[in-house]
Chain A
Amino acid sequence: MRCRRCKADAIIDLRRHNAAFCRDCFVHHCHEQVRRAIHDYEMIEPGARVLVAVSGGKDSLALWHILRELGYEADGLYLGLGIGTYSDESGDFARAFAQRFDLTLHEIDLPADLGFDIPEGARTVRRSPCGVCGLSKRHLFNQAASTHGYDIVATGHNLDDEAAVLFGNTLRWDDEYLARQFPVLPATDGFVRKVKPLVRVGEREMAAYCVVLGIDYILEECPMAVGNRHLAYKELLNSLEERSPGAKAAFLFNFLDRAHERFADAAVVDKDDLLRCTICGSPTPGEVCAFCRLQARACAAPDSVPVTLRGAAS
């Protein structure tokens, strides 16, 4: 195959675009897709300070790289989840990347800094690891951005992620979630703006981007993801895509362009009615926010009580 732009030998074919690209034109293509997403959804204005949620995986590292290439001021935050060797290794990839490109990487370690890890926290509160993980990430990234003066949190959710989430939300006709699914969530009192600049690129493109630029990322999958619904939806969508290239993008973008606004009424929480969490100060409908409640319960788990306390009584 030949590159669509310059006719050199292609290194990747993108059937969704009915195109193949050589190395340089492919890198250009990725930058253009991200530039267009940022422009179309008014994600980042010039001069804004962006905090990238970095996991050590292909998407977040590619995102960080692309934002810098496009000239944005973007630092990273790595959140250690305490998921065994997976977390140790993903942290190493994030640190190596930051060092190689001379970038600022902040770090929070869930076990060391907050007293619980994802697997144990999930067991204690009887929720799925991904549910506990998602809640922790949303809270901690927002809090870190607010405290360190960042205007925007950027995450590496790509076209495949968003299409899979939309598929799940649509299967259940979950109108609240459908109302909230959008590549940019505006800032409100106590919450910084959240953006997904990779919404126009697929995960194949992001893996390829890392390979051609020599960006090392964690290849191992998070052990908590095995067998989850999200992966099953992606598999379904990929077999559909195989038969009709462009199906995933059409599904997602027709929703965003034409259907999303019809769910606007279903967005429940009235942001004006929010109080301040008495522990951390985050906006919350109750007295204590969901994350602080999670942390309190997870840290009160019997096996996290220090042994010295038990011995002290005798």
Chain B
Amino acid sequence: MFVVLRNPKREIELSGPKNVEALLARLEIVPESVIVIRNDELVTRDARLVDSDRVEIRPVTSGGA
């Protein structure tokens, strides 16, 4: 699958993870710090993934006071 990461923006190709939770675990990303968008739709942790999916992992943490 095609994975879009941000800050800085980059794209990687991956195969294997069967759902969102497994994908985040593979990339060592804390689920609480991101939202996941699959083919333009927001999805939950248990959403199934297939290798033809395009997945954006968008960080939600902003800095500053």
A interface list, Cβ under 8 A from B: 1, 10-13, 15, 20, 23, 57-59, 130, 133-134, 160, 165, 203-204, 206-208, 211-212, 219-222, 224-226, 228, 230-231, 234-235, 238-239, 241-242
Closest to A219 in B: B6
Knowing A212-B42, A220-B7 are in contact, say whether A207-B30 is a contact too (CB < 8 A): no
Contact (A230, B65) CB under 8 Å given A11-B41, A11-B43: yes
Which residues of B pack against A, CB within 8 Å?
A: 6-7, 30-35, 37, 41-46, 58, 60-65
A157's nearest neighbour on chain B, judged by CB, is B65
Which B residues are in CB contact (< 8 Å) with A234? 33, 61, 63
Q: Which of B32, B45, B46 contacts A241 (CB under 8 A)?
A: B32
B35–A204 CB distance below 8 A: yes
> How many pairs of A and B residues are in contact by the CB < 8 Å rule?
85
Contact of B37 among A57, A160, A204, A211 (CB under 8 A): A211
Name the A residues within 8 Å of B46 (CB-CB): 1, 13
Instruction: State in angstroms the CA–CA spacing of A235 and B64 once bound together.
Output: 14
Per the bound structure, the CA–CA distance linking A23 and B61 in Å amounts to 22
Do B60 and A242 touch across chains, with their CB atoms under 8 A apart? no
- List the 3 closest pairs (A to B, CB-CB), nearest first: A225-B63, A207-B60, A231-B63
Report whether A20 and B60 are in contact in the complex, using a CB–CB cutoff of 8 Å. no
**Complex: chain B residue closest to A1, CB-CB:** B44
Q: A1-B46, A211-B35, A230-B65 given; name 13 further pairs at CB < 8 Å.
A: A11-B41, A12-B35, A58-B62, A133-B65, A204-B33, A211-B42, A225-B62, A225-B64, A230-B63, A234-B33, A235-B30, A239-B30, A242-B31
